[in-house]
Structure 1
Amino acid sequence: MSVSGIEALGFTPYVPPVATADPGASVNGTSGFADLVLDGLDRLEAVQNRADSLAVQAATGDLENIHDYTIAASEAAVTTQLTVALRNKAVEAFTEIMRMPL
């Protein structure tokens, strides 16, 4: 399937922003790390909402291609797992920083 075929399904691949030397500096129109985190959470919510809507369509018989739901559900599961793993690493890093002596 071509990239245009994937985009026709409603999936837009994530393109990471270009990193700058200053973490607080503007990155592709955002104002920093917090905006990147919020953008990631918004994307996660959108992926989950798409999977939920396809699940409803599959349950009611309105979905012609069941593989669309299967792909969306798998994508939502993997995206959720990645988000949880990143959160765990961030909490672990914060905890390690808090243990450092002054």
Structure 2
Amino acid sequence: MNHVSSIQTPFIQSQAIPKAAADRKVDGFGDLFKKALQEVDTAQKESQMKTQQLVMGEGTDIHEVMIAGQKSNLSLQLTVQTRNKVVEAYQEIMRMQV
């Protein structure tokens, strides 16, 4: 007696089959790094805008300015360190003997 064929799985049958991995666009490191740089730029601009608003007396709280500044600073530091590690890895690969 075959019990497996009598089991119904409506949950699995109703699920859509995802596209094959080859059909999906996979972001490369360059795309991810470009996106990260855009986010750093956005954080820098937001920090600058909030600082300007504080100086002009437009009702921005000092803690919001400080938080925006720290986010901007940390994201820039992370980006620079990531770049440094990538360059270091590239240099290490170039030193390898074939």
What is the TM-score of this pair, normalised by structure 2? 0.71
Q: Distance in 1 between matches of 2:94 and 2:59?
A: 50
**Residue 55 of structure 1, CA deviation:** 0.8
Structure 1 pair 64/53, CA: closer, same or farther in 2 (3 Å)? Answer: closer
**Residue 63 of structure 1, CA deviation:** 3.1
- CA deviations on 1:27-69 (whole Å, 9 max, x unpaired) are 3xxx422111100000000001000111111111113312111
Correspondence for 1:94 among 79, 90, 94: 90
Higher relative contact order (CA closer than 8 Å, sequence separation 6+): 2
Larger Rg: 2
Is residue 42 of structure 2 the alignment partner of residue 49 of structure 1? no
Q: Distance in 2 between matches of 1:92 and 1:63?
A: 45
Q: Distance in 1 between matches of 2:89 and 2:72?
A: 26
RMSD of equivalent CA atoms: 1.9
Runs of 4+ residues over 6 Å off in structure 1: none
Q: Which runs of 5+ in 1 are unaligned?
A: 1-20
Q: Which runs of 5+ in 2 are unaligned?
A: 1-20
Correspondence for 1:64 among 60, 72, 93: 60
Aligned residue for 2:6? none
What is the TM-score of this pair, normalised by structure 1? 0.68
Aligned residue identity for 1:46: T
Aligned residue identity for 2:41: E
Count of residue correspondences: 77
